[in-house]
Amino acid sequence: MGEPIYFDNNATTPVAPEVIEAMAPYFSEHWGNPSSMHRLGSKAKRAVDQARRSVAALIGAEDPNEIIFTSCGTESNNLALKGNLSAQSRPVSFITSAVEHSAVLEPLMALNSEGIELHKIPVDPYGTLQQDVLAEQLKNTDTALASIMWANNETGVVFPMAEIAEKVKEAGGIMHTDAVQAAGKIAIDVKTVPVDLLSISGHKLYAPKGIGALYSRRGTRLGALQKGGHQERGRRAGTENVPYIVGLGKACELAMQQMEKDTNHERKLRDRLEAGILATCKGARINGDTLHRLPNTSNISFEYLEGEAIMLMLDDAGICTSTGSACESGSLEPSHVLRAMDVPRAFLQGSIRFSLGRYNTEADVDAVLEKLPLIIKRLRELSPLAAD
């Protein structure tokens, strides 16, 4: 079998060749510590400063010092949530959405079990945040911080972040957004969207795994979780991972240059893929608001089937996708995102996420449209409920 056909870019992207090229000299020649005062140190420091400017530019941040490099999106989220909490001087209440990634939900649930009040805002059947419930919650509680994602990793649904952040700011709260799936895919401008804290992950935008960033608007109170040296202005101690930081900077530059091209390319392929699947596979439905969606993501459920089985058969055919269900403690738990959207029972277990990327081709889509209808037909023959 040749190269796998990759439709799982929301899980991770390959590292762009331009990124590898930009990183390489920082392993071999320019390996200095950015805190060192000599020439090798200065060379590394200049590279880190340049990368900080590139990350800031991607999200419209005016001051590069508002960017803190971290090890991943999960760390950025934890730093935003716990770092903000440690800077609060009064009892606090947090707000989040019912469809966040576990990298937000788990730290918030842990804080909740330690006594922090937590309110989850529901979504509607299209996966859109119920903003009237948010407004009511903001009116009724003294909210210290709201953490609401920019775009959902499972469905690709994009939240109206400007409206949401304005509501939270008017109520006097701090606004954090997990923009891990949005950054590099859609335009983000913190000059016009009043978020205070914003998380980014390198490996969702063609940089390596193990590098991330947190934007912290000037004046936002943030305690450090990791204490030690003065790196990242005392907000995240530890010698900087220079090659990976350079890689993230380069990936952000590429994302800015190519966003329009990537968007058009991915949307065109995604729409053809979806139309083809709906036309050839019985009992298929798209989950999520198709008008407000990342251009690369398609979450499709197949009535009465198991997503896991479809995903494994696609994998056997050389096609990498993912399923909305997570295999937890041996049982197939339907996705919390689809459950929050009240997806009908018959469609809950059978979801597959196709997430496209810069390097997908028409031929990749053709391969799915050739193999998937046969897989669905075969599974329907095996399942009494799902039979034609």
- Site residues for ligand PLP per CB under 6 A: 72-74, 101, 103, 149, 153, 178, 180-181, 201, 203, 212
- Taking the complex as a whole, the smallest distance from the CB of residue 43 to ligand PLP amounts, in Å, to 27
72 is catalytic: no
C-alpha dist (Å) from residue 359 to 15, 48, 253, 327: 11, 28, 17, 29
Tell me, rounded to whole angstroms, the distance of Cα 118 from its chain centroid. Answer: 22
Distance of closest approach, residue 335 Cβ to ligand PLP, in angstroms: 13
Residue located via tokens 């390596």: 208
Q: Which amino acid is at 142?
A: D
CB of 177 to ligand PLP, least distance (A): 10
Pick the catalytic residue: 72, 252, 320, 327? 327
**Which residue number, 251 or 284, has a Cβ lying nearer to ligand PLP?**
251
Closest CB 281 distance from ligand PLP, rounded Å: 26
* Residue whose pair of structure tokens reads 């090229």 in the numeric block: 21
Rg over CA atoms, the chain:
22
The tally of CA atoms less than 13 A away on the side-chain side of residue 276 is: 18
Q: What is the DSSP letter of 343?
A: -
| CB closer to ligand PLP, 153 vs 335 | 153
> Minimum Å distance from CB 283 to ligand PLP?
28
Give buried/exposed letters for 297-334 (b at 16+ CB in 10 A, else e). Answer: bbbbbbbbbbbbbbbebbeebebbbbbbbeeeeeeeeb
* Cβ closest to ligand PLP, residue 101 vs residue 167: 101
**Coil/strand/helix, residue 94:** strand
**In the beta sheet, which residues pair with residue 333?**
326
Q: How far is the CB of 15 from ligand PLP (least distance, A)?
A: 14
**Closest residue to ligand PLP: CB criterion:** 73
User: Where does 233-361 have alpha helices with state H?
Assistant: 242-280, 307-316, 336-340, 345-348
Residue in 111, 60, 57, 45 with CA at minimum distance from that of residue 245: 45
Indicate the residue among 146 and 281 with the shorter CB distance to ligand PLP.
146
Cα(14)–Cα(320) distance, integer angstroms: 13
In the complex with ligand PLP, the residue whose CB is nearer, 44 or 199, is: 199
Closest CA to 240 of 46, 28, 29: 46
Q: Which is nearer to ligand PLP, 137 or 199 (CB)?
A: 199
Residues catalogued as catalytic? 327
